[in-house]
Amino acid sequence: MARFDNKVVLVSGGARGQGAAEARLLVTQGAKVVIGDVLDNQGQALAAELGPAASFVRHDVTSEADWARAVEAAQKLGGLHGLVNNAGIYQPAALMETDDALWQRHIQINQYGCFLGMKAVVPTMERSGGGSIVNISSVAGLKGSPGSFAYAATKWALRGMTKSAAIDLGGRKIRVNSVHPGPIDTDMIAFRTPEQREERMKQVPMHRHRTPEEVAQLVAFLLSDESSYITGAEIAIDGASAA
């Protein structure tokens, strides 16, 4: 029997990068996966690659209606047992460079989107017998992050939201944990020069970036029954960056 037989997981921001790695791993371990994203072409291509165990739904995480459609897509696959709040943005700016538009964009996508997601999945997840929510935060949600004022604010917020939700939802058999990845070389930081990426890597005690697949393995563990008594936890996967 596979790890996620008869389980359905919704992954927001699942069309590429970290979210795609999570979707791929979950399908290989027996899950049915709903891939939510605003990147239609990439999301549809990934769903086609993964076969009948995956479906794509256009999903703006700031839209309650889109969350309802994503949950409905999961119900069609057999319920809802896991949510990965993976969607997010990163646009670097220090405090004095952060204007209202940049601030609000981070709050809406990274924080408000996570709030809407947790709230949207609870009724169906409870009817499915319980489940697990994994909120993707960042090492920037564990320590100060220079030049990333709005981003860091939202990632710290996810940490607190996760703990409060874990308390609120424990009686409903729903676990909630946050994952705090360290630096990675993906499209999200494509704006950095090779020299900037190299300098960033030198700041990591393990002297390398983490991979999307490494984070996906942690996410899968937290979604699985193997972590049945882990909730309200913040788990760093950062090569000791925040140690």
Average pLDDT, rounded, for the chain: 94
Amino acid at 1: M
Q: How many CA atoms lie within 13 A of 134 on its CB side?
A: 29
In the block, tokens 């002297």 appear at 207
Provide the pLDDT for residue 186.
54
Amino acid at 240: A
Provide the pLDDT for residue 46.
99
Share of the chain above pLDDT 70, in %: 93
The answer to whether residue 229 is catalytic is: no
Most confidently modeled range among 123-127, 139-143, 183-187: 123-127
- Nearest-Å Rg of the Cα atoms of the chain is 17
Output the pTM of the full model: 0.93
Provide the pLDDT for residue 119.
99
**CA-angle at 214, arms to 193 and 71, nearest 5°:** 100
- Measured N-to-C along each axis, helices 64-77 and 113-127 cross at an angle, to the nearest 10 degrees, of 30
pLDDT single digits (tens) 181-240: 998 765 555 555 666 666 667 778 877 778 999 999 999 999 999 999 999 999 999 888
Q: How far is CA 55 from CA 11, 23, 75, 220, in A?
A: 11, 10, 12, 18
Whole-angstrom distance, CA of residue 34 vs CA of residue 21: 13
Whole-angstrom distance, CA of residue 134 vs CA of residue 223: 7
pLDDT at 154 over 70: yes
Q: Which residues contact 57 (CB under 8 A, 6 or more apart)?
A: 34, 35, 36, 66, 69, 70, 73
Question: Judging by beta carbons within 10 Å of its beta carbon (0-12, 13-18, 19+), is residue 92 exposed, middle or buried?
Answer: middle
Whole-angstrom distance, CA of residue 59 vs CA of residue 33: 14
Provide the pLDDT for residue 196.
64
Q: Residue range 97-102: average pLDDT?
A: 98
Provide the pLDDT for residue 214.
96
Q: Residue range 50-58: average pLDDT?
A: 98
Q: Among 13-17, 95-99, 175-179, 183-187, which stretch is predicted with the lowest mean pLDDT?
A: 183-187
Catalytic residue among 90, 112, 151, 229: 151
Provide the pLDDT for residue 184.
76
Which has more pLDDT, 155 or 2?
155
Where does the pLDDT of residue 78 fall: very low under 50, low under 70, confident under 90, or very high at 90 and above?
A: very high
Partners of residue 82 on adjacent β-strands: 9, 132
Provide the pLDDT for residue 185.
64
> Which two structure tokens, joined as six digits, stand for 152?
């860091």
Q: Which domains does the chain have, with CATH numbers?
A: 8-236 (3.40.50.720)
Provide the pLDDT for residue 218.
98
Provide the pLDDT for residue 190.
54
Provide the pLDDT for residue 25.
99
Whole-angstrom distance, CA of residue 65 vs CA of residue 47: 22
pLDDT at 59 over 90: yes
